[in-house]
Structure 1
Amino acid sequence: MSAGGAVVRTGLGIAAVIAYQVLAHHAVATPGEQGLGLAMALIPPLLLALGAAAKSPRRAWLLPLWVAGACALWGARTPLAQQFEWGLYIEHASFNLGMALLFGRTLAAGRTPLCTQFASMLHTRDGSALAPAIARYTRQITLAWTLFFVATAAVSTLMFAFAPIVDWATFANYLALPLVGVMFVAEHACRRFALPGERRAGMMESVRAYRASSGAANAGRT
Structure 2
Amino acid sequence: MNRSGSISIARGVGGAALVLAYEAGAHHAVSTPGLEGLGLALVLAPAAVLALGAALRSPRRFLLLPLMAIVCALLWVSRAALVRHYEWGLFLEHVMFNGALGYLFGRTLARGREPLCSRFAAMVHGRPLAPEIAAYTQRITVAWTCFFGAVVAVSALLFAAASIEAWSTFANYLTLPLVVLMFVAEHACRRFALPNVRRSGMLESFRAYRRSSRAGPIPFR
- Quick check: TM above 0.5? yes
Question: Residue by residue, what CA displacement relative to the aligned partner does 1:77-101 show, whole Å, maximum 9, x if unpaired?
Answer: 1110111100000000011001001
> Deviation of residue 59 (structure 1)?
3.2
The answer to whether structure 1 residue 208 and structure 2 residue 207 are counterparts is: yes
TM-score, scaled to structure 1: 0.90
C-alpha distance in structure 1 between counterparts of 2:21 and 2:213, whole Å: 30
C-alpha distance in structure 2 between counterparts of 1:29 and 1:213, whole Å: 38
174-183 vs 47-56, which moves further? 47-56
Report if aligned partners of 2:155, 2:171 keep a CA contact under 8 Å in 1: yes
Q: SS of the counterpart of 1:138? A: helix
Q: Structure 1 unaligned runs (5+)?
A: none
Question: Residue by residue, what CA displacement relative to the aligned partner does 1:47-73 show, whole Å, maximum 9, x if unpaired?
Answer: 122222333344342333222222221
- How many residues get paired? 215
Kindly report which structure 2 residues correspond to 1:36-115, keeping only aligned pairs within 5 A, or say none.
36-115=38-117
Kindly report which structure 2 residues correspond to 1:126-145, keeping only aligned pairs within 5 A, or say none.
128-145=127-144
Q: Structure 2 unaligned runs (5+)?
A: none
Q: SS of the counterpart of 2:34? A: coil
Using a 3 Å threshold, how does the CA distance of structure 1 residues 72 and 137 change in structure 2: closer, same or farther?
same
Moved over 4 A (4+): 213-218
> Deviation of residue 203 (structure 1)?
4.0
C-alpha distance in structure 1 between counterparts of 2:168 and 2:33, whole Å: 14
> Deviation of residue 46 (structure 1)?
1.6
TM-score, scaled to structure 2: 0.91
Overall identity of the aligned pairs, in %: 58
Kindly report which structure 2 residues correspond to 1:117-128, keeping only aligned pairs within 5 A, or say none.
117-124=119-126, 128=127
149-158 vs 49-58, which moves further? 49-58
One-letter code of the match for 2:111?
Answer: A
C-alpha distance in structure 1 between counterparts of 2:203 and 2:65, whole Å: 34
One-letter code of the match for 2:132?
Answer: A
C-alpha distance in structure 1 between counterparts of 2:65 and 2:204, whole Å: 36
